[in-house]
Structure 1
Amino acid sequence: MKIGILTHHYINNFGAFLQAYALQAALQEMYPNDEVRIINCINIKHFVINAGGWFRFYKNKETLADWLQKIKLPMTFAKFRKKYMRLTPVCYDAKSIEKLGLDYIVVGSDEVWNYRETKGNAKVKFGIGLEREKLVAYAPSVGQTHEANMPEYVKKGILKFKEVSARDQLTEKLASDIRHEKIKRVVDPTFLAHIPDEPVPDITHPYMLFYYCDGLPEAEKQKLVDFAHKKGMAVYGAGECDKKYSGITVNLTPFQWVWMFRNADYVVTGTFHGAVFSMLNHRQFACYLTNPSRIRKVSSLLEEFGLKDRQCEGKADAIIENLRRKIDYRIIETRFDEKRNESKRYLRRAIQ
């Protein structure tokens, strides 16, 4: 049997890489005698916009040294994809995917069903043009989209799938309304497989880690930095730049990014995968969410695992209080195991 994974694997984003890598690893473990590959389907517009974004210079946040490291990141991702992803030949449309001779195509995870994201949206991820393969949706997300003015191809495509699951509440509702059936909620692929890590050179002291807290007031962030320093901690960003940080940790491999979460004393994040890797590595963390595309899906994730109180307003005192209030991961790990097992059962039922 030949299984292909269709996702946003090609963008230079740590969560996007790791969810694709983890789904590949999980499926290969579940189907050791079958061929599992990531379909190297590239949306040129999406790829160019994403890669080009890393070359912008933000003078208020970055030094020249920061920027020189940051612009190396697209090449770092390219090398890692080549080394760790089992990629098919490049495909630019459904017709070229059809020629691969796949038995199943697993679409997901990430915002592959965000039909309002014009630079990344592709009809092929809704199965349009794919007729020879059995389609399975694993943990797709629609981002912040909703039913209003939904394109007809979205409805038509979702109805084509043999099995559909969802990663968050909004996606679950949208798919349920279209298919008129109960949609299984599954975990992000990063829950399904062990992901290795790689040490980041020169980091030897305890540290607080930031990962994309868009909109956090600078004065409040400075208070968090001061709090960390008073506790004898360094402060770093996981693949991001800020003049407040103790060192430059922007040009990371995806496995180094995992290492930074795995070894942080505290994490402050505003993203879905920032929350996921804090949870998976039993970190004390807080979420500050202002980005509309993240609020729904991160809130849904936190609520699912009983961690809704990790969501904070933009005041440093509240975030610090949250970080100090320890999470009992013994209880949450039991829930992780339940959801992992349920999600794997879904995949086994869907692919047979």
Structure 2
Amino acid sequence: MTTGILTFHDGINYGAFCQVYSLYSYLRSQGLDVQVLNYKNPGFEERERQCFILPGNAELTARNMRKMALFEEAHSLLNMTPRLRSQEDLARHAFDAVVVGSDEVWNFSTELIGFDPVYFSHGVQAERLVSYAPSFGTVNAGDAIPDAVCEGIRRFSSISVRDANASRVVQGITGTAAPIVLDPTFLTDLSAQAVLPEEKDYILVYGFFTPPMVESIRAYARKTGKKTVALGYYREWCDVNRDIITPFEWLGYFMQSDCVVTTMFHGMIYSILNRKPFCMFMTDYRRNKVGTLLDDAGLAHAIAGEHDDPAAVLSGHFDYAAAYASIDAKRAFSRQYLAQALGLPL
């Protein structure tokens, strides 16, 4: 069965790479002929370029270019179509099935991406349209939903989502709440491909932090005597910076960390996958995305507010035995959903 994946596949973003690579690897392990739709609308492409190519900052641009080269090498592991930039381009590539997701592909309100009907199936040529773990991000149930979104979602033969908010949004469109599945990073174990770092005994720092968060993280590091390692983004206030690394080196830093402080969805995910104590500083942007998994796994105590002390969170009890009782059941459900949606043997 020819199976396409439509998601945010080629951004310079570690979590985005891991989610598409995990889904791609899992579907291939099920015997499917998988190809990633190498789609990005021109506006998204240009706005993304402007985030990394900064005419007024040659040093940061050079660092970004080095990181982009590493991601280009990682993306070469994916079997991709030629670059597609329009619905007309998409129409020339037909599949038995196309899986849309995961990530915030259904968040039509972001300035970076813009409203793009393609992620809601417009222009996609497939006998089966399947969504797997998309999120609406900051779009809430009860918000005004564009007609093109509603029309596109009603075309799907199978719909699943990643969080409770997205399930409610779908219910408002179709009349039926969508089942909630795990992010695809839970479907494929990438640990064998991870590259472990030389550093040990460190607090992993991943995300974007306000001054009060920074001060509390530094205070915790002083209290514990551990160094801070900034991952993925340069942070001058950290002891060590590892912002120009491959996705597989990124995975290794999670595996070898003592604990994690993050504001990012996949920072939370890989803390859980590696059973690490973690502090998830909550932001309004990510509130809809992270709450469902943490509540279901009994890990909501890992959430902190901007002015909270991460020490109180990180010193708490992380009952991963109980968490994985929930996660393993949800993983089995997620795999069953994909099998049924794609017509695979159960």
TM-score, normalization: structure 2?
A: 0.92
Query: Residue 135 of structure 1 aligns to which amino acid in structure 2?
Result: L
Which residues of 2 match residues 1-352 of structure 1 at below 5 A? 1-30=1-30, 32=31, 34-56=32-54, 68-82=62-76, 84-120=77-113, 121-146=115-140, 147-195=142-190, 196-200=193-197, 203-217=198-212, 220-290=213-283, 292-315=284-307, 318-352=309-343
- 2:200 and 2:256 in contact (8 A); partners too: no
Q: Structure 1 residues 159, 209: closer, same or farther in 2, change over 3 A? A: same
What is the Cα deviation at residue 149 of structure 1? Answer: 2.6
Query: Residue 74 of structure 2 aligns to which amino acid in structure 1?
Result: F
3-state DSSP of counterpart to 1:156: helix
The one-character-per-residue Cα deviations of 1:91-118 (angstroms, maximum 9, x if unpaired) are 1123322322311000000010111124
Distance 2:69 2:88 in 1: 29
Distance 1:311 1:132 in 2: 40
Distance 1:91 1:68 in 2: 27
- 2:37 and 2:80 in contact (8 A); partners too: yes
Identity fraction in percent: 29
Distance 1:331 1:21 in 2: 28
The one-character-per-residue Cα deviations of 1:139-188 (angstroms, maximum 9, x if unpaired) are 01110113433110011000000000010111100111211123110000
More moved, 3-12 vs 319-328: 319-328
Q: Structure 1 residues 109, 268: closer, same or farther in 2, change over 3 A? A: same
- 1:192 and 1:340 in contact (8 A); partners too: yes
- 1:11 and 1:51 in contact (8 A); partners too: no
What is the Cα deviation at residue 58 of structure 1? Answer: 11
The one-character-per-residue Cα deviations of 1:295-335 (angstroms, maximum 9, x if unpaired) are 2211222112111111112235x310110113121111222
The one-character-per-residue Cα deviations of 1:106-131 (angstroms, maximum 9, x if unpaired) are 00000101111243132111011235
What is the Cα deviation at residue 44 of structure 1? Answer: 2.5
Distance 1:40 1:214 in 2: 32
Query: Residue 72 of structure 2 aligns to which amino acid in structure 1?
Result: A
Distance 2:55 2:215 in 1: 21
- 2:297 and 2:322 in contact (8 A); partners too: no
Query: Residue 296 of structure 1 aligns to which amino acid in structure 2?
Result: N
- 1:261 and 1:281 in contact (8 A); partners too: yes
The one-character-per-residue Cα deviations of 1:73-103 (angstroms, maximum 9, x if unpaired) are 1221112101x21111221123322322311
Distance 1:50 1:199 in 2: 30
Distance 1:42 1:126 in 2: 14
3-state DSSP of counterpart to 2:189: coil
How large is the Cα RMSD of the aligned pairs? 2.1
3-state DSSP of counterpart to 1:133: strand
Q: Structure 1 residues 42, 116: closer, same or farther in 2, change over 3 A? A: same
Query: Residue 313 of structure 2 aligns to which amino acid in structure 1?
Result: N
